Structure 1
Amino acid sequence: MSASRSLDGQTALITGSTSGIGLQFAKGLAESGANIVLNGLGDEAEIEKTRAELASECGVEVRYHPANMLEPDEIAYMVAFAKSEFGRLDILVCNAGIQHVEKIEDFPKEKWDAIIAINLSSAFHAIKHAMPVMKAQGRGRIVNLASVHGLISSPFKSAYVAAKHGMVGLTKTVAQEGGEFGVTCNAICPGYVKTPLVEAQIPDQAKSRGISEEEVVEKVFLADTFTKKFTDYDQLVGLLRYLVSDAGASTTGVAIPVDGGWLTH
C-alpha cells in the first residue's frame, strides 16, 4: 500500500501491535512517516525482527515496549516511554484484545475478567496517561478498535460484546473532553477480519453451535454482510489514516463500521 509521508515527525503508539490488525496499523502509520512504538505479545526474537524490518522498510524509528495490558502501571510506563523516546505522542491506537466464546452460564470468571481488563480497561489506562501529553501539544489523535460488536451483539460473546460496547462509550466521553484541546477520539468497528484471533474462534464457534467450521464462516461470520467477504486490513488502515490526519480533525466521538453492510440489517 502506498502512502504519503503526511505523518513525518509524529509518534504513534499502538497497543497489541505485534500481530494481526495492530501490526497492520503500525505498518500503515510507519509508511506515512510516523515513528512507532510497538506493543504486544510474542517471541522476543520475532518481535525484534518485526521492529527492525519496519524501521528499515519505512525509514522511521521503531521502538518496542512489552507492557502487559493487564497491568495499569506497566501501561502508564509505556505511554511515558513513548513520550521520552520521541519527545511527543501524537497518535494512540488502543487495539489490544482477546476473545473467548462460550455460553454465559459456562463462561469462566477468569476469562470475563481478562477480556474486560485487556479489551476495555487497558484503553482507559493508556488514554488517561496520553491525554495530558496531547492536551499540552494542542493536538492528538486517539483511535479505539471497538469492533462491530461495540454496536450490536452476538451470542456466546458476553464479555467481548460488553467490553466493546464500553469502548464505544469511552470513545464518546474522551472526544467530549479532548475536543477543545485539539484531541479527537474515534472508534473503528470492523466486521470479521481474518486475523489470528478470528481464526481461533472458528472451531470454538463450531463447538458452541454444533455446526461445521465451514458453516461458521458462511452462516455466522458473513451471513449478514452484503459483500460476503471478510474485511481487509487495507480498508481498516485507510480509515485509520484519515482519522489521524488533519482532514479528520472534525471527525470525533463516532464509531465507524467497516463491516460489509452487516449493521444495515
Structure 2
Amino acid sequence: MNAAPRPLQGRRALVTGSVQGIGLAIAEALAAQGAALVLHGLAGAQELEGARAALRQAGASQVDAFTHDLRQPDQVEALVHAALAGGAVDILVNNAGIQHTAPLAQMPRSRWDEILAVNLSAAFDTMRLLLPRMAQAGYGRVVNIASVHGLVASVQKAPYVAAKFGLVGMSRVAALEYAGAGSRASGGVTVNCVCPGWTETAIIEPQIQARAAALATGREEALRDLMREKQPSQRTSLPSEIARVVTWLCEPAAHNLTGAAIPVDGGWTAQ
C-alpha cells in the first residue's frame, strides 16, 4: 500500500514563535506534510526539546531550533542567517507575536516599541532577507499570522492593531512585487496573511482573566462574554485548525493565491 503523498516533501520551513500555541501547531502540520523545520522561540532547553520531539513525532526529517530575540533587528538578521546555514528556507511563517492591552493614552511607549518590533518589523526583516532567495529558486511561501485585528480595530490595543494592519498591508505589497516569480511548474512565490479571531492560545488568557475579574465569574463565562461581543459563531478556533489553513497555502496548488488576508474568525469581520 502506497504512503499518502506529502506535498511539502523536500521543503524547509522557518516558523517564528513556534515552541507553543499556533506556531507549534503550524510547525507540526508542515512536518506532517514532509517539510523540515526551523523552530524558533524564547524558550528554555526543556521547552525547545519538547517542541523538537513533537516535530520529529509529526514526521519532520530535520529540526533546527533557535532562540533569537525578535525585539532586536540584529537578532532577526542573525536568526535568518542561522536558519540558512542549515539549508534553503522555502517556507516562512511569521507567527511570533506579543500583546499588551491598555488605553492608548496609558500605553507605555516601551510596549509600543516592543509590539511593533516583534509583530511587524521582524516580519519585514525576515521577508526582506528571504524573499529574493525564494524568487531565485522559483518557489517560496510566506504566510504571516496577522489577526482579525489586521482587518478591524478594538479598544485598548493600539500598538497590536497598528502592527497587524501594517502586516496585512506589507504582505500585499510583497505579494505584488513577487507575483511574477517562478511558474506553475516551479510553484511560484506567494505572500498571504491568515487572520485568526478568538483562538485557544496563551496570548488571550490575560483578556479572559480581566473579563472574569470584571464580571466576578469563571473563565468559561468570561470567554463566552468576550465572544458574544465580537465572534458570531460563539466558538473559538483551535491552533491545529489555523495550521491547516497555513499548510494549504504552502502547497504547490496554491501558486495563484497571493495577497490575501484570510479571516478565520467565526464571522467577526463579516458584520
TM class by shorter chain equals over 0.9
The 3-state SS of whatever aligns with 1:180 is coil
Residue in 2 aligned with 1:16?
17
Please provide the CA RMSD for this pair.
1.8
Residue in 2 aligned with 1:43?
44
CA distance in 2, matches of 1:180, 1:204: 47
* Residue 220 of structure 1 pairs with residue 226 of structure 2: yes
Contact 2:28 2:54 in 1 (8 A): no
The AA in structure 1 aligned to 2:23 is G
* Residues 153-162 or 50-59, more deviating: 50-59
Match of 2:204 among 187, 198, 209: 198
Residue in 2 aligned with 1:248?
254
TM-superposed CA distance for 1:122, in Å, is: 0.6
TM-score under structure 2 normalisation? 0.91
CA distance in 1, matches of 2:204, 2:174: 28
Q: What percent identity do the matched residue pairs reach?
A: 40
* Residue 157 of structure 1 pairs with residue 157 of structure 2: yes
CA distance in 2, matches of 1:222, 1:233: 20
Residue in 2 aligned with 1:233?
239
Residue in 2 aligned with 1:145?
145
CA deviation profile, 1:123-160 (whole Å, cap 9, x unmatched): 00111111121111111000001100000011111111
The AA in structure 1 aligned to 2:75 is E
| Structure 1: 5+ residue stretches without partners | none
Alignment map for 1:30-179 (pairs within 5 Å)? 30-86=31-87, 88-179=88-179
CA gap of 1:22–1:249, structure 2 versus 1, over 3 A, is same
| Structure 2: 5+ residue stretches without partners | 182-187
The AA in structure 2 aligned to 1:8 is Q
TM-score under structure 1 normalisation? 0.93
Residue in 2 aligned with 1:185?
191
TM-superposed CA distance for 1:75, in Å, is: 1.4
Residue in 1 aligned with 2:215?
211
Paired residue total = 261
* Residues 100-109 or 214-223, more deviating: 214-223
The 3-state SS of whatever aligns with 1:76 is helix
* Residues 218-227 or 154-163, more deviating: 218-227
Residue in 1 aligned with 2:185?
none
